[in-house]
Structure 1
Amino acid sequence: MRTPDRVPIPLLMRMAAHPLRWALMTGLASSDRRVRELAAAVGEPQNLVSYHLRLLRKAGLVTARRSNFDGRDTYYHLDLARCASAFGDAAAALHPALAPANRAVAKKGSVLFLCTGNSARSPMAEALLRHRVAGVRVASAGSHPAPRLHPNAVRVLREDYGIDLEPRRPRSLDALTGRRFDHVITLCDRIREIPRDHGPAATAHWSLPDPSAAGDTDRATYPEFRRVAKELDTRIAFLPL
């Protein structure tokens, strides 16, 4: 009897099969985290956690980004889109019938996006989520709101997504006092690293750079605004509402 040809084990499965790496992936699935937070969550030494994070980064499943608030810190992020694709490929490698089918999932719940100025990242996230999910209750605010929306935030959403942000203006977090949300997502490291009480809300952090810091002119920063908007849209697609 002919033995089956040995099929190479997909890289994702080799990464996820290790208990510690699976724990790290699970810990990063809902929020970006720093290495010391991951070490505390999994109960392992920081140097061991760092080693396995390096393997996950090499596999392209995890990315790292320096904190915009404290440059000594690094936030790790699980690339959910890459994981979804890799899991689908791994299933199909085992048997073609296991290839995942696209399923529409009804979403519900309320979301608050927070950043410092509420002039770029958080209003873009609010508008993108509302655009993706009809009827969702979503808001955004800033701890120190800017006088106006950044022109590139308005331009990117209008040109790339057909969304008009104007005449909306930045909103203070104080204006939402008393309102309750199911999910609170911080988008800049500064507001995340200054603790706040969000009550019973599920909290998460998406460590995104300030796109307006990428240059001295609107023209120079526009490519970064497009990149941040694309990352926001990708993350929102995997938001567990």
Structure 2
Amino acid sequence: MLSSQSAPAFVRLAAHPLRWRLLTELAASDYRVRELVTLVGEPQNLVSYHLRLLRDGGLVTATRSSFDGRDSYYHLDLDRCADALADAGAALHPTLTRGHVAPSVSTAGPLHWPRVGVLFLCTGNSARSPIAEALLRHSTDGQVEAMSAGSRPKPHLDANAVRVLREEFDIDITGRSPRHWDTLSGRRFDYVISLCDKAREACPDFPGRPRRMHWSIPDPVATGGTARADYLAFRRTAADIETRVRHLLPVVSAMRS
């Protein structure tokens, strides 16, 4: 006899083939609607309709592009997906809750990370990209080669970027200076990740065909409020970047040197 209990919301949303394709693409990078249209090979009105359903379901968010205000970047909330998957498992059987599932080796963190190079890019290389660089290096005990650069580097790191890393993560990046990405033009990287919509549009090619990813993160320097409001903006930005770095770690650890 079939159960009268309806499927959890996540299952109903993710089960649709096109929505699953959209979730899969957004799991790797933030994208604009027209880019998703190209990736999934479906009409824009259909893609926009299913993106709206994913947004209404709380799995996907959209932020206005800082490069072109007429565009929006769509972002998959992986933490929300993880919670939804756990709830779906618990709805199927109580032993499928997070507390009853034995942790895999990968979730414990590899003892030896593969030899991987990751480059983070933004415009000024004074806030977002150095925060990402520091968090990835810290999370992998320096075994992953994390670097950052900018298209128009500022003279110095933003004081709030230094402060938020020190106070929230116990990481000290004092003494580091922003660099231009032209200084790394001959370097090979496995991943090139832009954190700024403007930098994404101008990102140069790097040798070795690295995997390109984009994290559309608003510039915390652009708040223009009080000192407290400015620092709170940096805390939100650092938390966002930390979440994205955390979800990048299993991808990086799966690579073989």
Aligned to 1:225: 234
Match of 1:128 among 114, 122, 135: 135
Q: C-alpha distance in 2, partners of 1:217/1:33?
A: 32
Match of 2:124 among 84, 109, 117: 117
Q: C-alpha distance in 2, partners of 1:218/1:153?
A: 13
Aligned to 2:49: 51
Matched, 1:186 2:194: yes
Aligned to 2:12: 14
Q: C-alpha distance in 1, partners of 2:183/2:226?
A: 31
Q: C-alpha distance in 2, partners of 1:157/1:101?
A: 32
Aligned to 1:73: 71
User: TM-score of the superposition, structure 1-length normalised?
Assistant: 0.94
Letter in 1 for 2:185: T
Q: C-alpha distance in 1, partners of 2:145/2:203?
A: 24
Number of equivalences:
239
Match of 1:207 among 194, 199, 216: 216
Percentage identity across aligned positions? 60
Aligned to 1:148: 156
User: TM-score of the superposition, structure 2-length normalised?
Assistant: 0.89
Coordinate RMSD, CA, aligned: 1.5
Structure 1 231/43 Cα, relative in aligned 2: closer, same or farther at 3 Å? same
Structure 1 83/125 Cα, relative in aligned 2: closer, same or farther at 3 Å? same
Aligned to 1:167: 175
Residues 151 and 218 in structure 1, CA contact (< 8 A), matched pair in contact too: no
Secondary structure at the counterpart of residue 61 of structure 2: strand
Moved beyond 4 Å, runs of 4+: none
How far the C-alpha of 1:14 sits from its partner, in A, is: 0.5
Letter in 2 for 1:97: T
How far the C-alpha of 1:32 sits from its partner, in A, is: 0.1
Q: C-alpha distance in 1, partners of 2:217/2:192?
A: 15
Gaps of 5+ in 1: none
